Structure 1
Amino acid sequence: MARPRTYDRDTVLDKAMSLFWRLGYEGAHLSALVTHTGLNRFSLYKEFGGKAGLYEAALEKFLGYLLGQYRDILTVQPLGLENIEAVLRSLQYGSEYYGCFMINTLTQRDTVPEGAYAKALAGADEIEALYFGNLVSAMARGQIASGSNVAGLGKMLQTLDQGLHIQGLAGTSDAQKDRVISAVMAGLRTGVA
């Protein structure tokens, strides 16, 4: 007869996510994961198949939360520059900023599990598509110049978004981040971006 679970899967994923987020995949050693999550090694392997499976499950949970935030802002009708500015300004660094777990995964391509990298890449692609949809609407509404390269601008916004997260890790202040966002938004409105 199988023993019943003595742990809550979501709690374990939250704890694992916080450790992976701070230390990266390679920095979060199995012994630290066992201590931090409260799982024993047997349960960790049984539930997740090991460290790689735990990382992938934690990232998947994070992506559900992150993409939900992006969808909540970037699907507000009417689509357009207001949504783009709102989502960019929603990024807050805070005193204990560890970047974005998705972007951290992308920057650790050579060390994270392949499945996790693919999930992070798909998440970044979805964010870019949300930006693209808002740019198409912004052009139709006359917020940006007719004939703008919205595919290129969508990639630029996704790159800016990722760069802002990396800048937060490098110690950029909220004030510096806000100046960058203001400059990009002004460029989009005047056709300079």
Structure 2
Amino acid sequence: MTVGRPREFDPDEVEDVAMKLFWEHGFDGVSISDVTAATGVNRRSIYAEFGSKEHLFERALQRYAAGPSVYASEALTRPTAREVAEAMVHGAADTVSGEVPGCLTVGEAPGLPEFRDATVHRLAERFDAAVAEGELTAVDTLLLARWIAAVCQGIAVQARSGATRADLHAVADLALAGWPGAASGH
């Protein structure tokens, strides 16, 4: 039995560095050479662990969803649909105005359209539950979910363009003024 050489790097650290690189520069703006330069891990080891740039991005995206962007899944647990929407737009404002401006999920990369679509459908399902409970009435829940997602994505674009955290929270509040039933006091 041959014992392989011990792994010379921590894949979690490489994923974390790759996540930040993809977040800052986008999928097309990052090469495996960039990842090797930032981590000190050679290309062969990165390819052996991750298989391809696309698979490395996939893992970086999972890390992003469970880390900086965890607000999105946590928002779905809020007691009311309005609180879900508030947690989404204000969570986006906090996340995209942090260490790296913008959002990893806004842009084009393998798997991102599907990731965004899944987020919209999870929101729509949560809003469907609010309709079933009588909290929301006469709304297209998929359209409502797309609106909240669009606000979050717009907030990310504005952050990348230099808007401050306060500006982004003000945009979130202004968007929420259009929440169904907002004029009647919810």
The TM-score bracket by the shorter chain reads 0.7 to 0.9
Q: Secondary structure at the match of 1:47?
A: helix
Taking structure 1 as the reference length, the TM-score comes to 0.77
5+ residue gaps, structure 2, are none
Would the aligned equivalents of 1:81 and 1:138 in 2 still touch at CA under 8 Å? no
The counterpart of 2:5, out of the listed 3, 6, 9, is 3
Aligned to 1:39: 41
C-alpha spacing 1:20/1:149, structure 2 compared with 1 (3 Å) = closer
- Percent identity between the two aligned chains: 28
The counterpart of 2:145, out of the listed 137, 154, 174, is 154
Amino acid at match of 2:7: R
Aligned to 1:101: 104
After superposition, give the CA deviation of every residue in 1:44-102 in whole Å (9 maximum; x if it has no partner).
121122433322322232234366432222123x3320221122112314364331112
After superposition, give the CA deviation of every residue in 1:105-150 in whole Å (9 maximum; x if it has no partner).
xx23xxx4xxxx22x2332223212322343344456654x21222
Amino acid at match of 1:100: C
Aligned to 2:72: 70
Aligned to 1:164: 155
Would the aligned equivalents of 1:73 and 1:86 in 2 still touch at CA under 8 Å? yes
2:59 matched to 1:57? yes
Deviation, structure 1 residue 36: 0.9
Aligned to 1:136: 128
2:9 matched to 1:25? no
Mapped partners of 1:89, 1:130: distance in 2 = 18
Taking structure 2 as the reference length, the TM-score comes to 0.80
The counterpart of 2:115, out of the listed 112, 123, 148, is 123
Would the aligned equivalents of 2:72 and 2:91 in 1 still touch at CA under 8 Å? no
Query: Aligned Cα RMSD in Å?
Result: 2.5
Amino acid at match of 2:165: D
Would the aligned equivalents of 1:164 and 1:177 in 2 still touch at CA under 8 Å? yes
Mapped partners of 1:124, 1:166: distance in 2 = 15
Mapped partners of 1:67, 1:95: distance in 2 = 11
Mapped partners of 2:52, 2:145: distance in 1 = 37
Would the aligned equivalents of 1:79 and 1:137 in 2 still touch at CA under 8 Å? no
2:165 matched to 1:190? no
When you count helix as a share of all residues, which structure comes out higher? 1
Would the aligned equivalents of 1:67 and 1:127 in 2 still touch at CA under 8 Å? no
5+ residue gaps, structure 1, are none
